[in-house]
Structure 1
Amino acid sequence: MVLSATPAIQDSAASLFQASSTDVDEHCAALGRWRLSYDQISAGAFKGSFTQLSLPRLDVFREITSQQVRQYGQLGADSFGIGLPWDGDGELNCNGTTASGAHVLASIDAEIDMCTPKAFELRGVVASTVLIAELAARLDIELPRTVWHHLQVIEMAEAPVARLRAHLAAIQATITTAPEIFDDPAARQALEDALLVEIMDMLPTARPGHPGRSAVARRRTVDRARELMHGSGDRSLSLLEVCKAVGASPRKLGYCFQDVLGTSPMHYWRAMRLNRVRRDLKRAGDIATSVYDIAVQHGFWHFSQFSLDYKRHFSELPSETLRRARRAA
């Protein structure tokens, strides 16, 4: 395939952005125009890095996160995204579907909600929805409707996926060894065309995953439980209240969470509440409040156990988080 129909563009210099962080919120803030939020699910010190090469028509990214993370929000207005799971200690879960092999993550103007495993690396390409739609129309390619407005795990032909993977590996190697190559307008044009060729070759082969009826039912149960957990506002629901609301026993809810998110409902809900406490502590630098007050607000009544859980999860005591916030205020 050739891109003879590609609209003419006004070239501009490439820009390279690289950031690393030991805090999941700081890592998320470095994602630029991506309107995403992250919650750290697994316990332990967080390390993350984000690299983005911005070309005239495309952004090429590489993201690494050391802990299991829930990612939610939106990739950005008018955004088409293709992501390739690169590495990780476990499976990526997206809407009850796991991604592996020739599976890719694809979205067009989509809401994103997925759980990534520990030591996870994702590489991919983001472009304007208008650009992709114009190219698809000129090349008589029908865009897969399933990726509009919802991030989806899509199975695509192995050959173009493998070629896109090879391009992304070469880009990262060039960033490491000779980033000045991207200063050449001809090199930028050739790179963009090469990436767009593979994306246009991949799209006609897209086959969305179709989980069975039981998998759909488990996903709905988890979605309802998470909706209750995240929508409870200042009052922290108990797991018993969640089970009663969704009509599932603790055992059944546990099976559903393990299948869809790769973790237990108790661990997930505790992690979400610990993340809320941490954010409130960061915002309490100039407020006369205590760690205990914030912990109780999020349902942690056993303070010594809460302190142990917090330190295990974030590798620091809650008092250290509050002290650092007050120093910065």
Structure 2
Amino acid sequence: MALSATLPIQDSPADLFQASSTDVDEHCASLGHWRLSYDQISPGAFRGSFTQLSLPRLEVFREVTSQQVRQYGQLGADSFGIGLPWDGDGEVNCNGADATGAKVIACIDAEVDMCTPKAFEFRGIVTSAALIEELAARLDIGLPRSVWHQLRVIEMAEAPVARLRQHLAVILDTIATRRGRLDDPAARQALEDALLVEIMDMLPTARPCDPGRSSAARRRTVDRARELMHGSGDRSLSLLEVCKAVGASPRKLGYCFQEVLGTSPMHYWRAMRLNRVRRELKRSGDAATSVYDVAVQQGFWHFSQFSLDYKRHFSELPSETLRRARAAA
């Protein structure tokens, strides 16, 4: 099936973008028009890389992150994204479901919010949701509405998923060793058609992974806790306040977080607050800004322990972050 015959397009050259970073915020900024934010959850030096091949109707990406990361935001208005976990030290936590085997992560005109493990590699495709709907209508393919407007782990037929995985492997190998082949308009057209064919072959078989009733309840508890953590404004809530608000003991909340996000609520909440402190320090060129004041604002009352936690998490002292921000101001 040649999709170019169905939807003729004007040829344009393939655009290749590659970036690497040792800072999670800089890595996130390299994602281009994607409106995403990243928080580093696991401690240690961060290393990330991002490769994006832009074709006329879609983008192929490869992302590598060394630390556990929370990713949240949007791929863009009216966007369709499908991603395959490639490698990592653990499971991708997305709505309490893991993505392995013939499962993929699909974001169809929806918000992104997921946690990825350490040493993680993610490959996939982003295109327009309107294009997918138009192709489905022209090719008489029924799309499952149950996976629309939400980020989901989806189980699909094994064969098209395996073929898509093979295509992505060949594309990244071509970028690394035979990039000149992408300069050929016919090759770009064939590549784009092949990717869209596999997507259109996969989608009718899509079935959302059901984590079960008990898992769904734990997910709701975690979602409510995170909503409180991230929406607490200028004053940082304590973990006790969060537990009281969601009606769960610290132990129960711990079980819920471990299943849904693969980490403890205490570790998650401390990591989120450390990320907030770091961003505030990086924005501060004011000589009157104090590390202590910023730390206290985010609920760190034990300053020496905070400094140790900060250095363990970001591999530098908070005073070094502030000094670098002042030098750049």
Q: 2 CA distance for matches of 1:174 and 1:286?
A: 47
- Paired residues for 1:157-196 under 5 Å: 157-196=157-196
Q: Deviations over 1:108-148 (max 9, x none)?
A: 11101000000011100111112111111111112222332
Which residue of the partner structure matches residue 266 of structure 1?
266
Q: Indicate the percent of aligned positions where both proteins have the same amino acid.
A: 85
- Note the 1:31-70 alignment, pairs <5 A: 31-70=31-70
Gapped runs of 5+ residues in structure 1? none
Decide which structure has greater strand share: 1
- Decide whether the 8 Å contact of 1:229 with 1:237 is kept in 2: yes
Q: In the alignment, what sits opposite 1:248? A: 248
In the alignment, residue 143 of structure 1 is paired with which amino acid?
A: L
Contact 2:4 2:193 in 1 (8 A): no
Whole-angstrom distance in 2 between the partners of 1:147 and 1:25:
30
Would you say 1:131 and 2:141 are equivalent positions?
no
Q: Equivalents in 1 of 2:30, 2:222: separation in Å?
A: 29
Letter in 2 for 1:171: I
What is aligned with 2:277? 277
Q: 1:17 maps to which residue?
A: 17
1:327 and 2:327 matched: yes
Q: Specify the code of the residue in structure 1 equivalent to 2:60.
A: V
Offset of residue 4 of structure 1: 6.6
Task: Measure how far apart 1:286 and its partner are.
Answer: 2.9
The corresponding residue for 1:211 is 211
Shift of 1:185: 0.3
CA deviations on 1:295-324 (whole Å, 9 max, x unpaired) are 000000111000000000000000000000
- For residue 246 of structure 1, what is the amino acid of its counterpart? V
Q: 1:287 to 1:36 in 2, by over 3 A?
A: farther
Asked whether the equivalents of residues 5 and 138 of structure 1 are also in contact (C-alpha less than 8 Å), the reply is no
Q: Could you tell me how far 1:78 is from its partner in structure 2?
A: 1.7
**Number of residue pairs aligned between Structure 1 and Structure 2:** 329
Residue number in structure 2 paired with 1:290: 290
Letter in 1 for 2:181: I
Distance 1:110 1:5 in 2: 30
User: 8 Å contact 2:4–2:189 — kept in the other structure?
Assistant: no
Distance, in Å, in 2 between the alignment partners of 1:287 and 1:133 is 54
Query: Mean alpha-carbon deviation: is it higher for 30-39 or for 146-155?
Result: 146-155
Structure 1's consecutive aligned runs of 4 or more residues displaced over 6 angstroms after TM superposition are: none
CA distance in structure 2 between the aligned counterparts of 1:324 and 1:221, rounded to whole angstroms: 39
In the alignment, which residue of structure 2 is the partner of 1:96? 96
SS in 2 for 1:244: helix
Partner residue in 2 for 1:197: 197
One-letter amino acid matched to 1:198: E
Q: TM-score, normalised by structure 1?
A: 0.98
Deviations 1:185-237 (A, max 9, x none): 00000000110111011011111111211001000000000000001011011
TM superposition shift of 1:2? 4.8
CA deviation string 1:152-176 (max 9, x = no partner)? 1000011100000000000000000
**1 CA distance for matches of 2:146 and 2:292?**
46
Q: Deviations over 1:240-286 (max 9, x none)?
A: 11000000000000000000000000000000000000000001123
User: Superposed, which structure 2 residues align to 1:65-144 within 5 Å?
Assistant: 65-144=65-144
**Counterpart contact for 2:89–2:120, Cα < 8 Å:** yes
CA distance in 1, matches of 2:75, 2:3: 26
Q: C-alpha displacement at 1:42, in angstroms?
A: 0.2
Once superposed, what is the RMSD of the aligned Cα atoms? 1.0
Give me the whole-angstrom Cα distance separating, in 1, the residues matched to 2:154 and 2:242.
31
Letter in 2 for 1:155: E
Aligned to 2:311: 311
TM-aligned CA distance change 1:224 to 1:287, over 3 Å: farther
- Asked if the contact 2:85–2:121 (Cα under 8 Å) also holds between the matched residues in 1, the reply is yes
Cα distance in 2 for residues equivalent to 1:275 and 1:162: 37
Q: What residue identity is the alignment partner of 2:266?
A: M
Higher mean displacement: 31-40 or 135-144: 135-144
Decide whether the 8 Å contact of 1:5 with 1:135 is kept in 2: no
Does the CA-based 8 Å contact 1:37-1:73 persist in structure 2? yes
1:85–1:121 contact (8 Å) kept in structure 2: yes
Q: CA deviation at 1:3?
A: 3.2
Gaps of 5+ in 2: none
Distance in 2 between the 1:135 and 1:286 partners? 53
Structure 2 SS opposite 1:94: coil
> Quick one: structure 1 residues 4 and 39, their matched pair in 2 at CA, closer, same or farther if it must change by over 3 Å?
closer
Question: How far apart in 2 are the matches of 1:18 and 1:286?
Answer: 34
Asked if the contact 1:80–1:106 (Cα under 8 Å) also holds between the matched residues in 2, the reply is yes
- Aligned partners of 1:51 and 1:210: how far apart in 2? 32
Check whether the contact 1:5–1:139 (CA below 8 A) recurs between aligned residues. no
* Aligned equivalents of 2:82, 2:318: Cα separation in 1: 38
